[in-house]
Structure 1
Amino acid sequence: MVDDDFSLQSFALTGKVVVITGGASGLGEYYTQAVTQVGADVMVVSSTEKNWDKIREFVQAQGRRLVLLKQDITQEGAADKVVETAMKEFGRIDVLINNAGMQRRHPLDEFPDEDWRAVIDLNLNALYYLSHAVAKVMIKQRSGKIINIGSMQSYRAGKYIFPYAASKHAVMGLTRAYADALAPYNVQVNGIAPGYIDTPMTKALQEDPVRSVEIRDHIPAGRWGQPSELKGAMVFLCSKASDYMTGVMIPVDGGYLLR
C-alpha cells in the first residue's frame, strides 16, 4: 500500500519558524542556510553581529524572513528574552536548534576554573534553560522539534578539553531526557554529532602534520567532512519526515565512530 502522505514535501519547512543559536557563523551558518532553503523563516540568536550581513543576504535570497537577535544566552533571563522575541515576531516556534558552543583546551594540571565555567555555561546550562523555555511554547502548540548539537566528544574522551567533553556527553543525556518528557506532546528532541569537519576553526588541526594524518586515517571515508554535508541530517530532523524519531543523536562523521 502506498502512503499518500509521504513526498518530498515531508522534508519541507514552509511556514515553519526556526530559532537557532549561533546561526550566523561557523557550522551554524550552514544550518541556517539549510532550513531556509527548504522554506523556513528564522530567528538567529548571536552574542555578536559577526557575519550578520552575509546571513541576511542569503536568507533574503531564499525569500524567507530573518530576525537577528544580539543576545548572550548565558546571561540570566536570556532564555525568556529569546522566546519573547520569537513569539512577538512570529507568534510560534516550530524548531529550536541549540547550536551555540565553545571549546577551551589546556593540559589537565593547567586547566583554569574560569574556562570550565565558561564552557559549561554556554554548552550545557544555556542549552538547558533555552530548551526549557521553548518547551513550554511547544507543549501549548502540541508540536515542535528541538535539535541539539553534540560532538564526537559526546561519545569519546576529549583529552585536554575536559569541560567540552563533559558538556557534550551531557547534551546527549539532556536530548534523551527531554525527548522522553516531551513525546506525549508531539515534540521530538534529537541531535546531530558532527565529525571532523573542514572549517576555519579546524584549520590549525588540519595543518598539524601528525594529528591531521591520525584523524584522516581513522575516518573510513578517508577525508574530513564538508559543512554542507550536515545539511541533510538537519533538514530531516527539523521536518515532518522525522516525526516518529526522538531521543536520537545522529553522528555525521564519515564513519569515524566505527573505529
Structure 2
Amino acid sequence: MTRFDLTGKTAIVTGAGRGIGRALAIGLSEAGAQVAVVARTENDLQETVQAIEAMGKVAHPIKADLTEPGAADKVVAQTTEALGGLHILVNNAGMNLRKKALEVTEEDWDRVVDLNLKAAFFMAQAAGKVMCEQRYGRIVNIASVAGVVALRTGVAYGSSKAGLIHMTRVLALEWSKFGVNINAIAPWYFRTPLTEALLQDEAYVQEILQRTPSGRIGDVEDLVGPAIFLASDAAAYITGQTIPVDGGMTIYGF
C-alpha cells in the first residue's frame, strides 16, 4: 500500500457525468476508492458508472441537481447509506456563461454563482459534518485560473471561482484541526465537451497557447494525478492551498 492508495476510502465526485468529473471519478476508482458519481443527466451518469464497473470497481450513481435546496444533504446521506462512509469529496460541478460584463443579467449571475460557489459550499458543509465527526476527510475543490487572473467575458465565472478559492482557505482554517484537509485545483484550458466548440477556433487556440508555456491544451488526464494526491495521505500536511494545473499559464501573474 502506497501513500497514494485510496483503498478503503469512499469518495463523492460531483459533475461526474462527463469531461473533467468523469476523468476524476475514474481516476479515484483506479486508485482504489469506491465512488459516488453525481450528475444531473441520467445517460452521462450511467456511462461513467459503467466505465468504473468495467474495471471491476465500485460506483454508485446519484442523479441530482445540486442547486436545489437540500440536495447536498441528500447526496451525502445516499452515499453513506449505499457505500458505508465518506472520506473524500471532489467538488467539480460547475458551469460558465461567456458574456461581456455589460451584458450579464441577474439570472446569468445567479445560475453561475449558485452552482459554482453556493452548491459547492453546501456540498462541503454536508460532507464536512461527517468528516469532522470522524476526524478525517479530504475535500478537493475544482476551481480555475480564472479565479486568480482576469480573463475577459468571464466575470461571473471568475468571481465564483475566486470565491471558491477563498472558501477553500476558510474551510481549511476551521476544519483542519479535525483532520479534514481542504484544497483546490485551478485548471486552465482543457479539452472537454464544454470547451469543444471554442477549441474549434484556431485563432482562439493560438491565443491560448501563446499564454501557455507548455505549448498545449490540457488533457483531462492531467488533472487526475493532482486530485489523487490531494485526496490521499500523501498530502496529509497540505491544506488551504490552490494548485494551478495550467501548463505554466499563471507563471505570469499568479
TM-score range, shorter chain: over 0.9
Does the alignment pair 1:203 with 2:196? yes
Corresponding residue for 1:234? 227
Partner SS state of residue 201, structure 1: coil
Asked if structure 2 preserves the Cα contact closer than 8 Å seen for 1:158 and 1:164, the reply is no
Structure-to-structure mapping, 1:110-125, within 5 angstroms: 110-125=103-118
State the alpha-carbon separation in 2 of the partners of residues 79 and 54 from structure 1.
22
Corresponding residue for 2:180? 187
Question: Could you tell me which of 110, 135, 142 is aligned with 2:135?
Answer: 142
Asked if structure 1 preserves the Cα contact closer than 8 Å seen for 2:175 and 2:181, the reply is yes
Q: Percent identity?
A: 38
Q: 1:158: Cα distance to partner?
A: 2.7
State the alpha-carbon separation in 1 of the partners of residues 101 and 80 from structure 2.
44
CA pair 94-217 structure 1, distance change in 2 beyond 3 A: same
State the alpha-carbon separation in 2 of the partners of residues 174 and 204 from structure 1.
31
State the alpha-carbon separation in 1 of the partners of residues 82 and 75 from structure 2.
11
Does the alignment pair 1:103 with 2:96? yes
Structure-1-length-normalised TM-score: 0.94
Corresponding residue for 1:90? 83
Corresponding residue for 1:54? 47
Corresponding residue for 1:11? 4
Q: 1:168: Cα distance to partner?
A: 0.2
Partner SS state of residue 200, structure 1: coil
Does the alignment pair 1:71 with 2:71? no
Which residue identity does 2:43 align to in structure 1? K
Q: 1:91: Cα distance to partner?
A: 2.5
Corresponding residue for 2:146? 153
Which residue identity does 1:224 align to in structure 2? I
Does the alignment pair 1:218 with 2:229? no
State the alpha-carbon separation in 1 of the partners of residues 44 and 187 from structure 2.
22
Can you give the 5+ residue segments of structure 1 that lack an aligned partner in the other structure? Answer: 1-7
Aligned length: 252
Corresponding residue for 1:43? 36
Asked if structure 1 preserves the Cα contact closer than 8 Å seen for 2:39 and 2:45, the reply is no
Does the alignment pair 1:244 with 2:237? yes
Corresponding residue for 2:157? 164
Q: 1:198: Cα distance to partner?
A: 2.0
State the alpha-carbon separation in 2 of the partners of residues 185 and 248 from structure 1.
17
Asked if structure 2 preserves the Cα contact closer than 8 Å seen for 1:25 and 1:50, the reply is no
Q: 1:177: Cα distance to partner?
A: 0.4
Structure-2-length-normalised TM-score: 0.96
Can you give the 5+ residue segments of structure 2 that lack an aligned partner in the other structure? Answer: none
Structure-to-structure mapping, 1:22-33, within 5 angstroms: 22-33=15-26
Partner SS state of residue 202, structure 2: coil
Asked if structure 2 preserves the Cα contact closer than 8 Å seen for 1:73 and 1:79, the reply is yes
State the alpha-carbon separation in 2 of the partners of residues 94 and 250 from structure 1.
21
